[in-house]
Amino acid sequence: MVWIPAGTFLMGSKHFYPEEQPVHRRHVDGFWMDRAPVTNEQFSEFVATTGYVTIAERPRFPADYPGATPDQLGPGGYVFTQPTGFMEPDSADTWWNYMPGAQWRCPLGPGSSAMCRPDHPVVQIAYEDAEAYAAWAGKALPTEAEWEYAARGGLEQAVFTWGNADFPDGRARANTWQGCFPIRNLLLDGFEETSPVGSFPPNGFDLFDMTGNVWEWTADWYHHRHTPNDTTTTLTPGELRRGAPVESFNPLEPWQTFPRKVIKGGSYLCAPNHNFRYRPAARQPEPIDTAICDLGFRCVTRVPDSTTIATQESHEGLAG
């Protein structure tokens, strides 16, 4: 894990999607954060030790999914299937498919394997799964503010985690989609799907893959805009969630019965012409029951580092 020092930053952006507004100043206390997303190898150790069964490995309750077919109620997860011909960029239903049998061990469905990719981020992880791993590891999931502050790496209001140019010096700095999504991926970054964690340079806080590769869960319930009281609220170590589940439903999708958490960072399926969200300010709602082939997580620990402890002890000694 990497120590992220306390600080104040401008959260959000006014230049891209409306849900990233308003830009507001936030303070975040210092915390430890996983240097990279949780990997297949790490999650495998958790499952081997605890016997945990993920959401994608369990059957679904028909009452929670009105109108679902029997195949859609069986264990599985969502998998991206690249179209073979031209599609409108907003036709997501044509390339996202519920795949029976898809889960963290076989993230792209039966026949695929995560075991041959031990250093890739684990995916097909629903929110409950991420929380379970974090609890087992003695950690927690980051708040949205913690995640964005860490992703920025000290670069105030920069577009990307590394600066303002998408391809500085003509080189890819994250695992994303290059070309016209979803038809053609030029693979300029060298990867068609997930990549081993740490394949690209770290940000200013020495964190890998804070954008691109896989989306990451946060502990915050989704709201379609940053709420006004965020401008003055200081996060405390005990504050794990913001908002409320009843407010996280999307009125444009009334059939969706599950509340949503904020996910951050974008993935290998984000492109400038579609879902341009491999940026620190970007955010997206995700139903808490969702397991998908480009969604993972990383953890935090909210305890002071040794320097902070030493400083506190010194101050207490002087006071005594």
**Which domain CATH number covers 129?**
3.90.1580.10
Q: In whole angstroms, what separates CA 294 from the centre of its chain?
A: 9
pLDDT at residue 251, rounded to an integer? 61
- Whose structure tokens read 């999914």? 65
Strands (E), the chain: 2-4, 7-11, 24-28, 31-33, 76-80, 96-100, 215-221, 260-264, 284-287, 295-296, 300-301
Angle at 145 between CA 214 and CA 265, to 5 degrees: 15
pLDDT at residue 95, rounded to an integer? 86
pLDDT at residue 320, rounded to an integer? 37
Residues 47-81: b if buried by 16+ CB within 10 A, e if exposed: beeeeeebbbbeebeeeebeeeeeeebebbbbbbe
- Whose structure tokens read 């902070």? 308
Q: What's the pTM value of the predicted model, to 2 decimals?
A: 0.89
| 8 A C-beta contact, residue 175 and residue 213 | yes
Torsion angle in degrees (nearest 10) through CA of 90, 95, 100, 103 = -90
pLDDT in tens, the chain (320 residues): 999 999 999 999 999 999 999 999 999 999 999 999 999 999 999 999 999 999 999 999 888 888 888 888 999 999 999 887 766 655 566 789 999 999 999 999 999 999 999 999 999 999 999 999 999 999 999 999 999 999 999 999 999 999 999 999 999 999 999 999 998 999 999 999 999 999 999 999 999 999 999 999 999 999 888 875 544 334 443 333 445 566 676 666 666 678 899 999 999 999 999 999 999 999 999 999 999 999 999 999 998 654 444 433 433 343 33
pLDDT at residue 92, rounded to an integer? 62
Angle at 142 between CA 288 and CA 289, to 5 degrees: 10
Q: Which domain holds residue 248?
A: 2-319
pLDDT at residue 234, rounded to an integer? 40
d(C-alpha 103, C-alpha 178), whole Å: 26
The number of folded domains in the chain is 1
| 8 A C-beta contact, residue 296 and residue 37 | yes
